[in-house]
Amino acid sequence: MKSLKYITLGFLLVGTLHACNKIIDIDPISNVGVDNFYKNYEETKTALTGSYYGLQKPLEYEWMLTELRSDNSKQGVANSTASINVEFNELDMFTLNSAHDKVYQYWLSTYKNIRSINYVLQSLGVKYTGNKIEIGDGTAKMTAGQKNQLAGEALFLRAYHYFNMVRLYGGVFLITEPVDPQESRSIQRASLSDCYTLIKADLLAAKDLLSPTTYQNTANGDVGRATTWAAKALLAKVYLTLQDKGNAIPLLDDVISNSGYGLLPAYADVFSINNEMNREILFAVRFKAGGFGLGNSMANNFAPTSSGSAVINGDGTGYNFPTNELDGTFKTPATGATDQRKNVTMAKYGSKLYVKKFLSPVLVKFDAENDFPVIRFSDVLLMKAEATGYNGASGTSVGLINQVRERAGAVNYASGDFNAGFYKYPGDAAASGAITDDTKFLNALLNERRVELAFENQRYFDLIRTGQAITVIKNHFAAEFDSHYKAYRPAVTLAELQSNVVADKLLLPVPQREIDTNNQIKITQNPGY
Q: What are residue 47's phi and psi, to 5 degrees?
A: -65, -40
Label residue 16 exposed, middle or buried (CB < 10 Å: 0-12, 13-18, 19+): exposed
On the question of pLDDT at 134 being above 80, the answer is yes
Angle, helices 101-123 vs 41-53, to 10°: value is 170
Strands (E), 52-179: 73-74, 126-128, 133-135
Amino acid letter at 463? L
For residues 172 and 131, give the distance between their C-alpha atoms in angstroms, rounded to a whole number: 17
pLDDT digits (tens, 9 = 90+) for 385-397: 999 999 999 999 9
DSSP string, 331-381: ---SSS---THHHHHEEEETTEEEE-TT----SSTT-B---EEEEEHHHHH
130: confidence class by pLDDT, cuts 50, 70, 90: confident
Q: Of 29-38, 98-107, 243-252, give the lowest mean pLDDT range.
A: 29-38
- Supply the pTM of this predicted model: 0.94
- Give the max Cα distance, the chain: 72
- Mean pLDDT, range 168-194, rounded to an integer: 93
> Which tops the pLDDT comparison, 445 or 22?
445
On the question of pLDDT at 163 being above 60, the answer is yes
182: confidence class by pLDDT, cuts 50, 70, 90: confident
181: confidence class by pLDDT, cuts 50, 70, 90: confident
For residues 303 and 193, give the distance between their C-alpha atoms in angstroms, rounded to a whole number: 40
On the question of pLDDT at 28 being above 50, the answer is no
Beta-bridge mates of residue 373: 284
Question: CB-based contacts of 84: which residues, under 8 Å, 6+ apart?
Answer: none
End-to-end CA distance of the chain: 47
Residues in the chain: 529
pLDDT digits (tens, 9 = 90+) for 468-514: 999 999 999 999 999 999 999 999 999 999 999 999 999 999 999 99
Task: Give the H/E segment covering residue 182.
Answer: helix 181-184
Q: What angle do CA 441, 68, 334 make, to 5 degrees?
A: 55
Residue-level pLDDT at 393: 98
Beta-bridge mates of residue 10: none
Torsion of CA 180, 183, 188, 191, to 10 degrees: -60
pLDDT digits (tens, 9 = 90+) for 256-276: 999 999 999 999 999 999 999
37: confidence class by pLDDT, cuts 50, 70, 90: low
Inter-residue contact 55 to 112 (CB < 8 Å): no
- Mean pLDDT, range 152-156, rounded to an integer: 98
Q: Which of helix, strand or coil describes residue 124?
A: coil
